């Protein structure tokens, strides 16, 4: 399998660590093309406020300026576990590998 693009790998970190069995997320993740349709995903109004914030951050890593998320809001509203997910996503968005854990989608490991 080809190396994952960093922005795709960051999105998969968020999806696999915070939304492992949530089809509201996975139906918008296209492994074959290494694409994520965050615009469609974020139209779903059933996400909790913290889950939506987490997805908005993943979207900002994916598309840059298209989705803005303020870091102060993240620090204030997300707990330690969710912030750790963000840090791992940022790590792979820079092109680095995670030394532990997986950035593979369910069924892709």
| More confident: 25 or 76 | 25
For residue 9, pLDDT over 80 is answered with yes
| More confident: 99 or 106 | 99
State how far the Cα of 55 lies from the Cα of 13, in Å rounded to an integer. Answer: 11
User: Range with the lowest mean pLDDT among 13-27, 30-44, 77-91, 94-108?
Assistant: 94-108
* Contact status, residue 86 vs residue 93, Cβ threshold 8 Å: no
For 49-65, what is each residue's pLDDT tens digit? Answer: 989 988 988 888 776 55
């Amino acid at each position: 399998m080809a190396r994952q693009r960093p922005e795709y790998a960051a999105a998969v970190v968020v999806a696999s660590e915070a939304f492992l069995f949530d089809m509201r997320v996975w139906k918008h993740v296209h492994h074959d093309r290494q694409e994520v349709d965050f615009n469609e995903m974020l139209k779903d109004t059933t996400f909790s406020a913290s889950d939506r914030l987490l997805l908005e951050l993943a979207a900002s890593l994916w598309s840059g300026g298209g989705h803005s998320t303020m870091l102060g809001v993240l620090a204030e509203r997300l707990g330690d576990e969710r912030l750790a997910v963000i840090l791992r996503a940022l790590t792979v968005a820079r092109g680095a590998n995670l030394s532990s854990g997986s950035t593979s989608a369910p069924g892709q490991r």
